[in-house]
Amino acid sequence: MNATNRGLNRAILFVVGAVLLAIGIGAAAAATWPPAAAAWTDRGSGALAWLRDADRATRLSESTRASWLVLGILLLLAVVVVFAVVALARLGGGRSTTVVRDERGEGVQGQVTIRQGFAADLITQALSAHDEILASRVSTRRLRGTDVLQVTVTPRQNVSPRRVAETVAPLLDHLDALLGRRTPTLVTIRSGLRSRIAADESRVN
Amino acid sequence: MSNTGLNRVVRRELHSPRTVAAAAVLVLVALAAVAVGVEIVLHLVGAAPLLVDPGAALTWLRGIPEQPQSVTLPIGIVAAVIGAILVWLAVAPGRRPKHELGGTDRALITDNGVIASSVAERVRRELDLSRGAVVVGVGHRSADVTVRPEPGQSMDRTRVRAIAEAELEDYALRPRVKVRARVLRSADREDAS
């Protein structure tokens, strides 16, 4: 659970993929199919000639090879690099340490912030008392301006997810009662290596 | 937070964010852009190119039809395949093997593996089978239940299905999962044949 912009991810994949696909098909066709080869050479020569003319026409001065065209291309490349770096830096994210932030407080009370560690201790401690739960983890994310609590639970193998839900739900109700408001919570029930290795739940309690 | 907000979180959790692929593509695009930029600058200052002079590269590109096919064709095909994979990653839903658990006012997501193992356990107990005699696979919209009865034990396919369905009904999964049951011939008869 994070604040990654998924639409952007997919848009990047789509654009780069479509360009590669077009170039690849074009090159393969040009290499094997004479009409495509003729068209490729034709267009290529045209584009090269245009580039050369534009390069010459926009020369900065007689003494250099630099032209406005080349500078424009360099600028474009720089924009691409900056965009890529910014997009990379923004992947993931949204991690937060706050469960409840109450900022309308006025007067004596002031502002109230409840940290993630509080909820995490509460929930993982309570869950560790249950035999059918192998492990639990609590994290908070800030998504679209709301703090969302994520409780990840790994039950023993063969334990019904319904039972896990019935174990976790009261704890969340208690947390809500304690905090005095309903906390948006996502409960994730995971299977994993750990539940496969650990012994099944014992039949006799 | 409104319930719709949490619904959005649940929906996001059920699909892959494509972060790994997007990050790899971004890194490669940035590296390629830097490489092209470096070559252009080297050309401008009149230094020797690192790999290839920009003008020579463009001329080579134009001359692809004249290059030997054994070089250009594989390059073209590889580029097209990678491009098709990326487009597929961008367009495909990228569902994760998870389901939303209904029936509560909490947002609950569970791995398909958890559902499968608990359905298998329920079927196994109700039909009094040995460990490993029930195999359950849970997909996006279907669950396959395969039962191998003990020698001499008679097994009804509809019964297996009913038990698995009852268990799944209890989870109120979204999207709903249809049960397909299969009863294998018991081990002894297989040995005999």
Interface test with B, best of A1, A8, A14, A16 (most B CBs within 10 A): A16
pTM for this prediction: 0.78
Q: What is the pLDDT of residues B103-162, one digit of tens each?
A: 888 889 999 999 999 999 999 988 888 888 899 999 999 999 999 888 878 888 899 999
B65 with A37: Cβ contact below 8 A: yes
Confidence of residue B193 (pLDDT cuts 50, 70, 90): very low
Residues B33-61, mean pLDDT to the nearest whole number: 87
| Distance to chain B for A107, nearest Cα, Å | 26
A14 with B91: Cβ contact below 8 A: yes
| Distance to chain A for B72, nearest Cα, Å | 6
Residues A18-42, mean pLDDT to the nearest whole number: 89
Look at strands A112-115 and A98-102 and give their pairing.
antiparallel
Q: Which residues of B touch A11 (CB under 8 A)?
A: 90
Residues B80/A21, Cβ–Cβ less than 8 Å: yes
B109 with A16: Cβ contact below 8 A: no
| Distance to chain B for A189, nearest Cα, Å | 4
User: How confident is the model at residue B1, as a pLDDT?
Assistant: 42
Q: What is the pLDDT of residues A124-175, one digit of tens each?
A: 888 888 888 888 888 888 777 778 888 999 998 888 899 898 889 888 888 8
Cβ-Cβ pairs closer than 8 A, A with B, add up to 247
Q: ipTM for the complex?
A: 0.79
Instruction: For chain A, list the strands marked E by DSSP.
Output: 95-96, 98-102, 112-115, 133-143, 146-155, 185-189
Pair of tokens at residue A203: 């039949």
- Among the partner-chain residues B29, B40, B80, the one whose CB lies closest to the CB of A74 is B40
Confidence of residue B71 (pLDDT cuts 50, 70, 90): confident
Residues B34-58, mean pLDDT to the nearest whole number: 87
Q: Which residues of A touch B80 (CB under 8 A)?
A: 20-21, 23-25, 28
Residues A65-92, mean pLDDT to the nearest whole number: 88
Look at strands A185-189 and B107-111 and give their pairing.
parallel
